[in-house]
Structure 1
Amino acid sequence: DSLPVKYLGLPLITKRLSKQECSVLTERVMKRDNCWIRPLSFAGRLQLIKSTLLNMHIYWSSIFLIPSSIIKDYESVTRNFLWGGSEQHRKAGKVKWSTVCKTLREGGLGIRDMRTWNKALLLNQIWKLLNGKSLWATWCRKYLIRKSNFWILPTLGPYSWSWTQILKYKTCR
């Protein structure tokens, strides 16, 4: 690995998360896809996507803003798996992916949109920061927020990339 330190499978970094550092996510999905593609029906593949494949990125998404290129690759692999293709043999989708990602009531298949999910998990971090009693929340309040108010902290400053992303999300609309 090119990263000096990992903790619980996550790179400990202060700079922007690169595509190379996140490629582990897409590679894991590809490995699982290749094992499961043949014996499963469409309904089986859909259930596998909902229960396993889309949950593989949640841990990372709750900590980092996942780069758009990784989300695009991850969705591409997932989309291809759903329609019955493999890494070598791509199959065209029968419905737009944005339609597939709608809820069942809206006419979709109930697959979660990864960008929205990543944003929601990062907003949850803000809630935990302001309301939580965890070691992380206590440390952030003491050393990053200090005696200031989280809502008026400047977005830009001498912060790590991860902290800057959290600060950007406080004005999320």
Structure 2
Amino acid sequence: MNNASVNASNTFEGVKEEISGVLGVRCSTNLEKYLGFPNVVGKRKRESFQNIKDKVNQRIGQWSTRLLSQGGKEIFIKSVLQAIPNYAMTCFLLPKSLCEKLENIFYGKKKKGIHWCQRKFMCRSKEEGGMGFRNMSQFNISLLVKQGWRIINNKDSLVTQVLKAKYFPNNQFLNSSLGNSSSYTWKSIWAAKDVLSKGLFWRVGTGTNISINSDAWIPDTINFMLSSEVDSM
């Protein structure tokens, strides 16, 4: 906790000092990086996204003098380049334009060098005849869906309690609304909520949370209720 900091421009100094004393952290006046990624706040989003591109270009520059075979370049893209924005994509919804720019950097559009097949075929799984490269935009959504899944299942975690208290105190995550003045993190996780809803299904298990009379047993029907009460005794 000694390396953590309290930063809130709209918080009174006395409150900052009290929070700092309770948590045992220092007060900070400047936004800093977390895990090498700048804070995504307001106008700094563009700077943060540019930081990702710079890291990718820097890594490519370090390897530009090395001769890589087609197989070697494939491993370099999958294991190194595509892994660079992983943390950012876990927390934030990157613009599709940025994902496309990253893919253009990965595969290059120069006349010289390796000529790849069409990207839509490259991003298919190897079982479907593709090369197994990631579609960065879709991969971004899948990571955010995983965060939503964690919110549903890890109700006692700190991040779930904070998000619930602020954005859906009287509701469930799947029924939550975006709200006003939301953080970019919440906007990103909320944007993937519909994808998560489509992939959810009930598993009966012990059946303690199932109602025979009120739950829908036959999907896509107008009247799914039982026609009469059932005496289970």
For the superposition of Structure 1 and Structure 2, which TM-score range results when normalised by the shorter chain?
0.7 to 0.9
Residue 11 of structure 1: aligned partner: 38
Pairwise CA distance, 1:170: 1.4
Worse overlay, 105-114 or 161-170: 161-170
Contact 1:101 1:112 in 2 (8 A): yes
Worse overlay, 152-161 or 41-50: 152-161
Give ranges in structure 1 of 5+ residues lacking alignment: none
Residue 188 of structure 2: aligned partner: 165
Pairwise CA distance, 1:108: 1.4
Residue 100 of structure 1: aligned partner: 122
Match of 1:122 among 134, 137, 144: 144
2:91 alignment partner, SS class: coil
Pairwise CA distance, 1:12: 2.9
* Structure 2 residue identity aligned to 1:109: M
Pairwise CA distance, 1:11: 3.0
Separation in structure 1 between the aligned mates of residue 105 and residue 186 of structure 2, nearest angstrom: 30
Pairwise CA distance, 1:92: 7.9
Match of 1:20 among 39, 47, 50: 47
Pairwise CA distance, 1:33: 1.3
Deviations 1:90-125 (A, max 9, x none): 668441111111111212111111111100000011
Matched, 1:49 2:77: yes
**Percent identity over the alignment?**
25
Separation in structure 2 between the aligned mates of residue 170 and residue 113 of structure 1, nearest angstrom: 19
Matched, 1:68 2:88: no
1:4 alignment partner, SS class: coil
Separation in structure 1 between the aligned mates of residue 139 and residue 44 of structure 2, nearest angstrom: 18
Contact 2:167 2:179 in 1 (8 A): no
Contact 2:168 2:177 in 1 (8 A): no
Contact 2:37 2:48 in 1 (8 A): no
Pairwise CA distance, 1:156: 3.8
- Mark the structure with the bigger radius of gyration: 2
Change (3 A) 1:95 1:109: same
Contact 1:63 1:122 in 2 (8 A): yes
Deviations 1:123-162 (A, max 9, x none): 0110111112432122222333212222222234332232
Separation in structure 2 between the aligned mates of residue 120 and residue 114 of structure 1, nearest angstrom: 10
RMSD of Structure 2 on Structure 1 (CA): 2.4
Residue 30 of structure 1: aligned partner: 57
Give ranges in structure 2 of 5+ residues lacking alignment: 1-29, 199-233
Change (3 A) 1:28 1:11: closer
Contact 1:122 1:169 in 2 (8 A): yes
Deviations 1:18-52 (A, max 9, x none): 33321111111111112223321111010111111
Separation in structure 2 between the aligned mates of residue 148 and residue 159 of structure 1, nearest angstrom: 17
Separation in structure 2 between the aligned mates of residue 16 and residue 154 of structure 1, nearest angstrom: 24
Residue pairs, 1:76-115, within 5 angstroms: 76-80=104-108, 93-115=115-137
2:126 alignment partner, SS class: coil
Pairwise CA distance, 1:16: 7.7
Separation in structure 2 between the aligned mates of residue 43 and residue 92 of structure 1, nearest angstrom: 10
Worse overlay, 27-36 or 156-165: 156-165
* Structure 1 residue identity aligned to 2:60: D
